A and B are shown apart, each in its own frame.
Chain A
């Protein structure tokens, strides 16, 4: 895939689609161009059957230090409404392939919200998360209050959103925001290993698992159970299910085809 983007680096390595936020001079501050490019790259990978998982990282010292404040400082409420500012964000959340995030340095404000859109998060020991919006007299607008609360519960979400306090990598691990802490030097290398492991699984199983887990976040249990069951049944129409179970019985490694 060619890299014709202004604010992100996009490439493919084996079964992995790689996206790196690439405005290192401004600590990858997220502007509207970046969000629409991110979405374009993600949707590109979504429709490319050779890509099984997406790795999202940030070039330079930070993952993303927040939204581009200059861009919105003079906006009015109706500007946002008419622009439908967050529609690209909504579509980002609908990507069906697994998204694995690698966070070093700051993931603040919009950067934190972007990290929260990932399915798995690996963080360098120097990573710092936070929602400093309150210090500017506003609040998160791209899912911060909703996703963080669903992830860690009301108690900590309220504290972090009220104070704008930085969340250290260790706290983030403790509260289940990130999956694992990794030495900064090895962050991308280890994240890629984890992503490769996932990309070697049966892709349709991964896809339906992602769908079911996201369903669990805001569905009553009985509905979620029904949903899970249908996805479970559905997987028995795949070749990979036959292959997986035969390989198990024959005590060999399965060769999944994504069919």
Chain B
């Protein structure tokens, strides 16, 4: 149903694979839309409890496809029409989203990874704020997420100096949950994603929501949100299961309900 994205659901995980390997998975309007639609589909699918966004071939995503870019283009309009709805769809998603960064994540490709909840990096991966080298500015949420993830000072360095950040450096900055050698890549990202998918994902949804809200909240509002969130989590089957399993000294089986 998608042309530029491969979409499949296995063991509770929706795999969204950017699939323009010969173009290093560069964004076109179609790819923007298909990422948006596939995230929406996974959000709605009750079977799905975790999403993975990754890239086919040797790149994660090299950013905007420069073919088709010309001087008459209104860059702002392209963002409003194609990138921003994609980023908002990811941001709205209540399920955990993992960026499995298999190779280069440059420009808006980096923004895509930043919008996710976790970043697993292969040892071949790197982040590259390419925008400044063509006289542009990081977009698609890049400057929103980056300082929240690594702090203002480091975000400034990356965005302005535009140096390539390899996987180890990314790990040190806090941009990688884990760096995985290429030989174990598929096995490890699958294990990680399926583990997350088997967690109490209803509680994860509340954690995601409240963490996001914390950036624009007073302590008082956050405390109220904690109370509402805990009330919601306290009513879930997973909470009951967690307590029962603890009492019975067995492993809990969570359903995300």
Contact = CB atoms under 8 A, between A and B. Distances in A.
Interface of A: 125, 182-183, 185-186, 189-190
Interface of B: 206, 209, 225, 228-229, 231-232, 235
What is the interface of chain A mostly: helix, strand, loop, or mixed? Answer: helix
A23 B133 CA distance: 56
Contacts, number: 15
A190 B224 CA distance: 12
Nearest to B228: A183
B85 to A, nearest CB: 14
Given A189-B231, A190-B228, 13 more contacts: A125-B209, A182-B228, A183-B206, A183-B209, A183-B225, A183-B228, A183-B229, A183-B232, A185-B232, A185-B235, A186-B228, A186-B231, A186-B232
Nearest to B235: A185
A77 B231 CA distance: 51
User: By CB atoms of chain B within 10 A, which of A125, A183, A189, A190 has the most?
Assistant: A183
6 contacts: A183-B206, A183-B225, A183-B228, A183-B229, A185-B235, A186-B228
Contacts of A189: 231
B67 to A, nearest CB: 35
What is the interface of chain B mostly: helix, strand, loop, or mixed? Answer: helix
Contacts of B235: 185
A83 B200 CA distance: 55
* Top-7 shortest CB links A-B: A183-B228, A185-B232, A186-B228, A183-B232, A186-B231, A186-B232, A182-B228
A183 B221 CA distance: 12
Contacts of B229: 183
Nearest to A185: B232
A139 to B, nearest CB: 27
Contacts of B206: 183
Contacts of B225: 183
Nearest to B202: A185
Contacts of A182: 228
A186 B235 CA distance: 11
A182 B224 CA distance: 9
B253 to A, nearest CB: 23
A60 to B, nearest CB: 16
Contacts of A190: 228
Nearest to A184: B232
B127 to A, nearest CB: 31
A231 B232 CA distance: 42
A125 to B, nearest CB: 8
User: By CB atoms of chain A within 10 A, which of B206, B228, B232 has the most?
Assistant: B228
